[in-house]
Structure 1
Amino acid sequence: MKLEYILKSKLNFFIFLFSGFLLSFILPPYNYFFLGFVIFPFILYLLKKNQQADPRLFFIYGTLFAYGYFISSLYWISYSLNFDQEVAILKPLAIFFLPLGLSLFYGFGFYVLKRFCNFNHFFVLNFSILMSLIEYFRSYITGFSWNLFVYALSEQLESIQILNYIGTFGLNFLVIFLFSYPYFFLNKNKVIIVQRLFILLIIISSNYLYGFNRLQINLKTINQQILLVQPNENLLQINSNLNKYIESILEISEPLNKSENAIFLWPEGSYSFIENKNLKKVFQDKFKNNQKIILGATTKDKNGNIFNSLVTLNSEGKIINNYNKMHLVPFGEFIPFEHTLKFLNLKKVTFGYQSFSRGKSREVLKINGNLVLPLVCYEVIDTGLLNISKKKFDIIFNISEDAWFNRSIGTYQHYSHSIFRSIEEGKHIFRSTNQGISASINPLGITLISSSSNEKTVFSSNYQVLNNNTPFSILGNLMFLFLIFLFFLIQVSLKRYLKLL
């Protein structure tokens, strides 16, 4: 690739970068999803216009496009480095290099598009299939399925009910295809434009009507009082005095004024059972006999391994069951290759030097007769991977500590994942965080009650259930792969048909 050719492409570099930046506003909390119908066709137009360019140039285009998208939508990750001066030096890595690493996947996607796909009738379909596969593989390779294009529809409940069949990756493919669809309107034949517009309206309206009808389903309500507690305390103050933090949570929880079998859901990182084995003194005479408390805590096993755990306590403050978080945040909760890099004396972002260990399994917990699937923090982003044991469960408890996001757009992005998971799994999700948005979300993705962002509050909710399991909860992301295979077969069949004409 000649240097002078690259220099001539400088304007395109800026256009792709800026287009990605603008596209990031389709995501929560903005949700300007209509931008997708403009930016995706524009990108396809630019690619078609430059179809004679070197494939390596397409790699740069794709990388820059995604870089603009991610640097605008993930800058808040650097806020988690504000709480410890020892890791503050890593801010440039979080702001600039994390988005770059994710962007390389899209650069590869654009490269493959140029090398192996024609800019013909199937250009839009090939682009949609390729981009959805790129997002699928980058999610599993990195473990970070954050800010997929489909989250542009977070506020459009009717439009995302199809998640119960095809899941997030399946709908992501359809969203990319629909966003790109206006590219077809560049045809000069007005009859063809009208035909294609008609097809677009049929697809969108059919999906909307399906979602509208599904939202009319009558759900069964289970009379179990679950209290979501949001203390809204400063993260540094919490870490300096966990006992005081527990006392402040107790104060707003008011257990003695709640039902006999109430379940209290407290946030992630509420306590450490390393220094204190139980909370008997703190809990004394504070709870009714059958009340249960679920909270996030640091625990330690007999081998000295520490875990970020979801712990269930009885009214006396004794642990009756616990779940150790499986999906840990690299550098946030553990140092990759810690033994090899020990000489560097690296520190994880969360407090303390020792890395958290990964939990071995995610088992369903039985709490006051209710079968609970436990999730800690961003484990809720793992579409298709929640119920690993494939055992029956009634509800999902997700505890988090969104104070790390420092009142940024990351709070809303995190919350939107809970809406998607509730529809996919067909289960009621209860979400408790110290700062951010705590919420009770029913199996249709409807938020029954929630806190304002960074509000000190406690609120109560029963839970609702669907009569049947969703197809996605049974088949998982096989539904997405089947959808891609189906559209691939349709494309092959159409190509053969066109050759016969």
Structure 2
Amino acid sequence: MERLAGRVMLLSGAGQAFTALGAGLFSVLALPPFGFFAALFVSLPLLVWLLDGATPAPGATGLRRLAPAFRIGWLFGFGYFVGGLWWLGNALLVEAEDFAWALPLAVFGLPAFLALYYGLATALARLFWSDGWGRIAALAAAFGVSEWLRGLLFTGFPWNAVGYGAMPVPLLMQSAAPLGIAAINALAVFVFAMPALLGTRRGWKVGLALAGVLFAAHVGYGVHALHVRPVPASAEAVVRLVQPVIDQAMKLDDSARAEIFERHLALSAAPAEEGGRRPDIIVWPETSIPFILTHNPDALSRIAEVLDDDQMLVAGAVRTEDGGTGKPPRYYNSVYVIDGKGQITAAADKVHLVPFGEYMPFEDLLQSFGVSAVAAMPGGFSGARDHQVLTVAAQRLYPLICYEAIFPDEIGAQAEDVSALLNVTNDAWFGRTPGPYQHFQQAQLRAVERGLPLVRSANNGISAVIDARGRIVTGLAYDVPGFVDAALPGRLDDPAAAERHRMVFWGVIAFFFLLALVARTAFRRG
């Protein structure tokens, strides 16, 4: 191990670049659909050794002293994000004649930008660099801060935060409840990078013992939460998830709208499985209604024909409202609640829109070059100011439309008294790629973090009813058309979760930076 570490530290030029790039790419094995978390025990120690060798050029001053560390972190991040997000390009091929030109920007441009955060992390860690486990603490704190910034700046995009690699299954997700994903990002780097000490031998016994204790606590808490703590009782409501599996090209075909609508209705009208109870709530995916519902009263009549009087439908749709005198109408990515009489009783609009997907940043400038958003209505979608809780068959549901489920802070104070989280999405844009599996895992974590069950309906999967500990009660696999019925699981009462997660995160970051500072001071004196 010492010989390997020494060789990695001495790499330069192309060898150093390809090793950093390869380490980031190898890290992707920890993410869905692979879930091989042990990959991080290889890639992160390699990153540490590369940073050990990232010495500045003689005479370099100021930020130039950090340039080698930034370069290594950027290359590591570029490999990680290309390997983990390449599937975004699939959305551009749905209407290839209009958007194929942007394929390199999606596959390589976005990863190149996101890699800046990891470059920032390694440069920041290098400021506190020392020997032994102090440098591991510095790297963990710096990664925690960079991941926090990635979820915040420029509307945020925290997809595939490094902590998700430590939580591939519900047993390993339970730490998210007391800690939150932000703190786990830092803790995961601290644990997974610790084997790097075997290559330098300094402080390795203490470091590995500490990492072992943290990992054992991670697993032990999962066992306790799943098998010792009481399970909340299920609610009385029965929910049906409809998964129609409609190809995205078909969804964009105006002539197929009636067929799409009838397919949803047929799955909604199907009888419950033998011995099962008729559903109280039926959930359709994001933009499942293929036209402006308020412009089609006959569609509401058809829904009323399918629903019993006391049943309710929650359906994704595009909602429109008048823009005012001389202004174009506004469009919203929304969910409607429709009762058994075919009346719209409530609606909630998406708050956090997808840049370049649902709206265009710097719209006037980019449209002058003929660039438009991939999935937007004319003029783009508008975002709501805040989330609206939906009351459906005596249950209060907190809607998260599509990728809103990847943002922990998207779940606001209104969620304190809700029955469940509701995630409707359409991942058909991305085909049979890792994207839908990664999206599902991140939605799963929101249930664990907030102690709330999750009802998730996806056009082509993965649809599931998930309990408050992240376990799948029932669901449909990717690209399997049909429906499933399940009693809505009960919630865990944890109203202070969001505030606690913020305090824990900053506490962990401060502690790791303090360790790094103490270790660096001791290293200089030594």
The TM-score normalised by the length of structure 1 is: 0.92
Where does 1:33-48 land on structure 2 (aligned, <5 Å)? 33-48=37-52
Indicate which of 268, 278, 292 corresponds to 1:273.
Answer: 292
Q: 2:334 aligns with which of 309, 315, 320?
A: 309
CA distance in 1, matches of 2:237, 2:152: 36
1:29-83 alpha-carbon deviations (Å, 9 max, x no partner): 1111111111111211121133345422222211111101111110100101112
Distance 1:230 1:374 in 2: 18
2:453–2:488 CA contact under 8 A, matched in 1? yes
Name the counterpart of 1:127.
139
Indicate the residue corresponding to 1:3 in structure 2.
none
Q: In the alignment, which residue of structure 2 is the partner of 1:10?
A: 14
Which runs of no fewer than 5 residues in structure 1 stay unpaired?
1-6
Deviation at 1:110, TM superposition (A): 2.1
| Paired residues of 1:256 and 1:286 also in contact (CA < 8 A) | no
- Which digits, 9 at most, give the CA deviation of each residue in 1:431-473, with x for residues without a partner? 1011121011100011111111110010011122244216424
Change (3 A) 1:429 1:467: closer
After superposition, what is the alpha-carbon deviation per residue over 1:142-170, rounded to whole angstroms, capped at 9, x for unaligned? 41110111111333322321111110011
Question: Do the aligned partners of 2:73 and 2:115 also contact (CA within 8 Å) in 1?
Answer: yes
Residue 90 of structure 2 corresponds to which residue in structure 1? Answer: 79
Provide runs of 4+ in structure 1 moved above 6 Å: 493-501
Aligned partner of residue 19 in structure 2, secondary structure? helix
Alignment of 1:198-237 (within 5 A): 198-216=209-227, 217=229, 218-237=231-250
CA contact (8 A) 2:137 2:515 kept: no
Partner of 1:107: 119
Contact 2:292 2:320 survives alignment (8 Å): yes
What is the identity, as a one-letter code, of the residue corresponding to 2:54? N
Q: In 1, Cα distance between the equivalents of 2:455 and 2:394?
A: 17
The CA RMSD measured in Å over matched residues stands at 2.5
**Alignment pair present for 1:245 and 2:256:** no
Q: How far off is 1:109 after superposition?
A: 2.3
Alignment of 1:68-467 (within 5 A): 68-84=79-95, 85-115=97-127, 117-119=129-131, 121-142=133-154, 143-188=156-201, 193-216=204-227, 217=229, 218-239=231-252, 240=254, 241-254=256-269, 262-271=280-289, 272-273=291-292, 276-278=295-297, 279-303=299-323, 304-350=329-375, 352-389=377-414, 391-467=416-492
Question: Relative to structure 1, is the Cα distance of residues 282 and 23 closer, same or farther in structure 2, using a 3 angstrom cutoff?
Answer: same
**Structure 1, 19-28 or 251-260: larger mean CA deviation:** 251-260
State the Cα distance separating 1:280 from its structure 2 match. Answer: 2.7
Match 1:485 to one of 510, 518, 524: 510
User: For the Cα contact (< 8 Å) 2:420–2:452, is it kept in 1?
Assistant: yes
- Provide closer, same or farther for how the CA distance between residues 313 and 447 of structure 1 changes in structure 2, counting only shifts above 3 A: same
Q: Give ranges in structure 2 of 5+ residues lacking alignment.
A: 1-10, 58-64, 324-328
Structure 1 residue 133: Cα displacement = 0.8
C-alpha separation in 1, matches of 2:308 and 2:270: 7
Classify 1:467/1:159 alpha carbon distance in 2 versus 1 (closer, same or farther; 3 Å).
closer
Aligned-residue offset at 1:499: 10
TM-score, structure 2 length as denominator? Answer: 0.88
Q: Contact conserved, 1:77 with 1:94, CA < 8 A, in 2? A: yes
Q: CA deviation at 1:181?
A: 0.9
Q: Equivalents in 1 of 2:90, 2:523: separation in Å?
A: 54
For residues 282 and 12 of structure 2, the distance between their equivalents in structure 1, rounded to whole angstroms, comes to: 62
Paired letter, 2:241: L
State the identity %.
Answer: 25
* Alpha carbons 2:50, 2:72 under 8 Å: kept: no
Following the alignment from structure 1 to structure 2, what is the Cα–Cα distance between the partners of residues 486 and 178? 15
CA distance in 2, matches of 1:371, 1:282: 25
| Aligned equivalents of 1:10, 1:500: Cα separation in 2 | 35
In structure 1, how many angstroms separate the alpha carbons of the residues matched to 2:277 and 2:128?
63
Give the total of aligned pairs. Answer: 493
Q: Is the Cα–Cα contact under 8 Å of residues 134 and 519 in structure 2 kept in the other structure? A: no
Letter paired with 2:186? F
SS across alignment from 1:373: strand
Could you say if the C-alpha distance between residues 245 and 415 of structure 1 is closer, same or farther in structure 2, counting changes exceeding 3 Å?
A: same
